[in-house]
Amino acid sequence: MYFVYLLQSLKDNKFYIGQTENVVQRLAIHNSGQVISTKSRRPFRLVGYKTFDFRNEARWFEYNLKNHSDKKRKFINELRNKGLRPLGSWRKVSDPEGLRPGGR
């Protein structure tokens, strides 16, 4: 299972889009300052994510979001309106089903 995720900086309120296999671990990496492109904008909160069965699907979706402002705006609005359960209510990180409230 692969994810395209949306983070929001609590410092400047700007958004960051990325893709990963493990959303919780990736958020921790961003917040620890290990990602050069987001290091100066920490801390981040997870706004939401979309799930994919294959990495190439997630990468293509991420590419389209980053290169088409209308698709990016739509993705941001959908995730902001949808909302997520708090991180503490998810199952263990090793359980990919725990990262899928409601499926795709």
Q: Which fold has domain 2-99?
A: GIY-YIG endonuclease (3.40.1440)
Q: What is the DSSP letter of 53?
A: S
Q: What is the mean pLDDT of residues 56-65?
A: 97
Return the pLDDT at 84.
Answer: 60
Q: What pLDDT was estimated at residue 81?
A: 86
pLDDT at residue 51, as a whole number: 94
Per-residue confidence at 87, pLDDT binned at 50, 70, 90?
Answer: very low
The reported pLDDT for the residue numbered 47 is: 93
Angle at 56 between CA 90 and CA 35, to 5 degrees: 60
Cα–Cα distances (Å) from 45 to 31, 54, 62, 67, 103, in that order, read 9, 25, 18, 23, 21
Could you give the angle at which helices 55-67 and 69-82 cross, rounded to 10 degrees?
110
Please state which of the ranges 54-58, 74-78, 93-97 shows the lowest mean pLDDT: 93-97
Instruction: Give residue-wise pLDDT tens across range 1-59.
Output: 999 999 999 999 999 999 999 999 999 999 999 999 999 999 999 999 999 999 999 99
